[in-house]
Structure 1
Amino acid sequence: MSPYNLLPRFKAQYDANNQEFSISGVVRPQAIDELGPSIALLRDAIGRVRGVLYVNVRRLTQMNNAAFHAFSRIIIDACRARPDLKFVVITSSVVGWTSRKFGRLSGIEPNITVEEYDSEFYPGQGFLEEGGFVPILRTQTKMTWRHERAILPRHGMKPGIVMADICCGIGDFAVLVQKEFQPSRIVALDHSISSLDYARRVMREFDIRGIEYTYGDASEMLLDEAQFDLVTCRHSLQIFNRPELILKELYRICKPGGRVYITNEKNSHCLGEPRAESIRWTYNEVAKLFGHFEMDVELGPKSRRYLIEAGFEDIRVETFMVTNLDGDPQDFADVIAAWADVYAGEMASKRGDCPEFVARFRQGFQDHIFAALHPKGYAGWPIWVASGRRPQ
């Protein structure tokens, strides 16, 4: 995401993951020149996308007519120049004037529609209402992608390759890879039908091509042997009780000379300051909690050993730290809040933890959020990246 702090009272940004341009705050320029950076950002976003561009104004509290006409003209001109492009303006019923004002655009151009956030949350209100994790998963990918886009070429990523993304989840990583690196083909596999349905919907809306979403068990894939130049499997080995079975399959479908790329965590190394001791205690307990359910969220530093034992050579390992300083600190806080709900909620309850433990456990997550949002604070989430080459 590329933020532009244009004036003290408003902000414009573009999120490539969601194909969403957003503007928030009070936009009342005295001269159109004051909008220059945000207008340039909108033009750049239009030039980058296919399918649907979301324009999010639900946090826009004021906008004068000069600003409204400036942004509207760009959108309308883009509709006329590119009939293939659709715009969805996300407004909020809480700020009712946005729906009325931007609603006029849909009467001018049929490729512009307006949706009230409260009525149809994007992306995927249905998944959210079912207790889904989709918005948080997308935020996590956005946070890690800032690092992985630079790391991937060191592990075999390049244009034109044939790639598999195993345990692809909601498919957002595959979409980002397709946009950034343009492999000739991506096969993205997952065992969750609802996640694949979501991924296919996003692919249609954003007019993404070259990704084949398929249902399957990562430990017994119905994919031919030795057909992929690069096989990725992110944040997944750590939640299987026998990761060596997954690695055996990743090895099998990788071409000789190709690479398998994995990412995993070591949750006990999550950190924050201030309130470091409480945070450290909670994430040590997270590791124990996952261990109770036969999952290993400490797997990150073990990646090299697993790859060697699976038969790979030329093992490459590196780490990166996702922090509250990478982008919007609220993104980091939102992810931690979602972890707290799952770990200190459903998982702790299923293990039978007592109320006193759960209260202390949850407090550590709250302290991590406090560190992330503190003006002098620091909060981190470490990721291990590793890849290995299948011998020729």
Structure 2
Amino acid sequence: MSATTFGSLARFKAQFDLSNQEFSVSGSVRPQSIDELAPSLALLKESIERVRGVLYVNVRRLAQMNNIAFHAFSRVIIDTARARPDLRFVIVTSSVVGWTTRKFARLGHIEPNIIVEEYDTEFYPGQTFLEEGGFIPILRTQTKMTWRHERTILPRHGMRPGITMADICCGIGDFAVLVQKEFQPSRIVALDHSKSSLAYARRVAEEFDISGVEYTYGDASEMLLDDDQFDLVTCRHSLQIFDRPGLILKELYRICKPGGRVYITNEKNSHCLGEPRAESIQWTYSEVAKLFDHFDMDVELGPKSRRYLADAGFDDIRMECFMVTNLDGDPQDFADMITAWEEVYAGDMAVKRGDTAEFIERFRQGFRDHIFAALHPKGYAGWPIWVASGRKSR
């Protein structure tokens, strides 16, 4: 059930999902009078009558709400909480729209069976490793290595001059800048949930006088972006670090235009390889996959990309794989990338998991052997990437 309301200043939508016992409000709710809210308030009251135990009130995609609206919805919730002690309200907010947490938290101070939960506080368990900036050298070097391949691959997956594009989970923004220079889209929106990465991206853009990329803070699973607006949506090396990649793909599908494409890249880390010292290298990267799994991330996702895209509703799915190697330009670039991996994986992540000193030393040795293979005059070192894209049906 839903009620779409056109206020005098803005449009908003209220919906109720009985299967999840969830009432949601999205958009901009700025009525001039309470009468404009009548359909939505009636839906909220009907939702309350139809649930038992708990009603989730989802305001994750609520862009604006004036005091008239806030007090109207709050009055219904508070009055019900007092009249029905058997019913709990869980108000689900997002850090992306920080005012919702602050504003709705007041209700929890009034009635104890009104609880406010910030949905994305621990949205992806590896967030702390990203937020602390340890991934910045990894991201910079990885993009440098993969761009040599992707610049020729992207046109096969929908890239062309003049398109509108969104780069979701953009990290430090370097991919968006390379795309802008090479393909000149008419518009690029680059969105990420890491404030430190976005701050870095904006700082670099300013220092190097780069314009034309709109850097935006946002939750990839609940984006404040309109439906059907981008010709190409990219999401690189990111589904594998979310514990619920299907939610992200649902949002990528939503913001993509009918006939447009969503382009994703992911890894299968256990397939990293090197010679000489292959056995040590293979052991370490198999352990990398287990380490990420401990934090509910899947760096084995690459070959699963086709299934994920099909499950999300895409058609005309295209898939290919390329190998980043020490022979792609300067072998030191490859070695630098592995050095950055070692510091975060064998350092921060393994320590946080509680691994023993003996394990961490063996773990580190595999990275060092991979570096040895990359720099050996007769050596070979590789890192495989799976590329996939799907079309949104017209």
The answer, yes or no, to whether TM exceeds 0.5 is yes
Alpha-carbon distance in 1 for matches of 2:141, 2:291? 24
> Does the 8 Å CA contact 2:134/2:344 hold for their aligned counterparts?
no
The equivalent residue for 1:10 is: none
Mapped to 2, the partners of 1:244 and 1:226 lie a distance apart of: 18
Within-5 A mapping of 1:107-118: none
Q: In structure 1, the residue corresponding to 2:313 is in which secondary structure?
A: coil
**TM-score scaled to structure 2, two decimals?**
0.66
Task: Return the offset for 1:386.
Answer: 0.1
Q: Residue 191 of structure 1 aligns with which residue? A: 193
Deviation at 1:197, TM superposition (A): 1.5
- The CA distance in 1 between the partners of 2:358 and 2:138, in whole Å, is 27
What's the counterpart of residue 258 of structure 2?
A: 256
Tell me what 2:290 maps to: 288
Q: Name the CA distance, whole Å, in 2 between partners of 1:243 and 1:178.
A: 27
Q: Distance in 1 between matches of 2:156 and 2:313?
A: 20
Q: List 4+ stretches of structure 1 deviating above 6 A.
A: none
- How far, CA to CA, are the matches of 2:309 and 2:349 in structure 1? 30
| CA distance in 1: counterparts of 2:145 and 2:308, whole angstroms | 26
- State the partner residue of 1:123: none
Amino acid across the alignment from 1:140: Q
Give the corresponding residue for 2:382: 380
Distance 1:254 1:384 in 2: 21
CA distance in 2, matches of 1:222, 1:320: 33
Partner of 1:336: 338
Change (3 A) 1:162 1:338: same
**Counterparts of 1:347 and 1:304 in 2: how far apart (Å)?**
29
Shift of residue 208 of structure 1?
2.3
Once superposed, what is the RMSD of the aligned Cα atoms? Answer: 1.0
Name the SS for the 2:200 alignment partner: helix
Native 8 Å contact 2:325 2:383 kept in 1: yes
Q: Which of residues 265, 268, 271 is equivalent to 2:270?
A: 268
Aligned to 2:307: 305
How do 1:343-358 residues align onto structure 2 when only pairs under 5 Å count? 343-358=345-360
Report the more deviating stretch, 350-359 or 149-158: 350-359
- CA–CA distance in structure 2, aligned partners of residues 289 and 369 of structure 1: 20
Instruction: Give the match for residue 245 of structure 1.
Output: 247
- Shift of the alpha carbon at 1:135? 3.2
Which shows bigger deviation, 187-196 or 267-276? 187-196
* 3-state SS of paired residue (1:208): coil
Q: Which amino acid aligns with 2:153?
A: I
TM-score by length of 1: 0.66
Query: Residues of 2 paired with 1:188 and 1:322: CA distance?
Result: 25
Within 2, Cα distance between the matches of 1:238 and 1:194?
20
C-alpha separation between the residues in 2 aligned to 1:390 and 1:206?
36
Amino acid at match of 1:375: P
Q: Rg: which structure is higher?
A: 2
- For residue 300 of structure 1, report the CA deviation from its aligned partner: 0.1
The corresponding residue for 1:26 is: none
Aligned letter for 1:300?
A: G
Which amino acid in 1 is paired with 2:245? Answer: P
> Displacement of 1:131 after TM fit?
5.5
Distance 1:188 1:131 in 2: 18
1: distance between equivalents of 2:343 and 2:208?
Answer: 31
Letter in 1 for 2:356: C
Residue 164 of structure 2: aligned partner: 162
| Percent identity between the two aligned chains | 86
Give the paired residue count.
263
Distance 1:145 1:284 in 2: 26
Alignment of 1:1-392 (within 5 A): 132-392=134-394
1:347, 1:205 → 2: CA distance? 32
Q: 1:196 Cα deviation (Å)?
A: 1.1
Verify the 8 A CA contact 2:160 2:183 in the aligned structure 1.
Answer: yes
